[in-house]
Amino acid sequence: MAAAKENKVQLNLKNVHYAVLNDEATPDYAAPVPVPGAVNLNLAASGEMTPFYADGIVYYKSSANNGYEGDLEMARFIDQMMQDIWNNQLDETDKVMIEKADVEAKAFALLFQIDGDANNDLYVLYNCTGTRPAIAAATSTETKTPTTQTSTISAAPLAANYFVYARTTADTPENVRTNWFKQVWMPSAEPAAAKAAADSAPVRAEAESEA
């Protein structure tokens, strides 16, 4: 069977979702929620290169992986995300959205799709925080140009397993792709742990029989 083709280029950002991180230790997430209107995502790697000098030269270099940081630009952040992530409150009587200064933003997973020339790459950033979107607008002129909203996203490693992000490849099974935006993807089992458990099973059984 012919090998699947990798993308040569990236073409389009779409299918942005968020999933509230309920418990980082597990980790546990709420179901992903779609946010229509993706415009731009630009995340730069976060972490410094630290040189160590010896013998009059750079003897060793270490690079810290602190995740990514950058901007997510949307046509508009939906009201549900404003409530779920930035804890805005909806007045039940008058249906007015209220932002309060004494609440904390929630961590979340950010899921999205980048189209390619051969297939679509699906991403999940596991542990994100975001700044509140700015309030901006402009007067109408001869042309109507929508005003977008931007949140600065910080994507840090998860404390439980140090995962920063996951991405599909050309060989990812179709069922994984189909379910990508239904729940936050995690490996079904840690390979090393699963192998260790399997290897220890015959030893335990033999010890019990001898006893």
**Of 190 and 77, the one with more pLDDT:** 77
Query: Is residue 1 one of the residues assigned to a domain?
Result: no
pLDDT of 2: 60
Instruction: Report yes or no on 5 lying in a domain.
Output: no
Q: Using CA of residue 78, residue 153, residue 91, residue 32, what is the dihedral sign?
A: positive
Q: Domain containing 64: what range?
A: 10-210
* Residue 73: inside a domain: yes
- pLDDT above 60 for 201: no
Q: Each residue of 168-189: pLDDT tens digit? A: 999 999 999 999 999 999 998 6
- 151 within domain boundaries: yes
What mean pLDDT is predicted for residues 116-124?
95
In this structure, is residue 3 part of a structural domain? Answer: no
Question: Residue 4 falls within a domain, yes or no?
Answer: no
Residue 165's alpha-carbon distances to 68, 94, 158, 183, in angstroms, are 10, 40, 9, 15
Instruction: Please tell me the total count of domains within the chain.
Output: 1
In the predicted structure, residue 4 carries a pLDDT above the cut 90: no
Q: From CA 64, how far away is CA 86, in angstroms rounded? A: 29
Alpha carbons 128 and 112: distance in angstroms, whole number = 13
Tell me the pLDDT tens digit for each residue of 30-47. Answer: 999 999 999 999 999 998
Question: Is residue 2 in a domain?
Answer: no
Does the residue 206 lie in any domain? yes
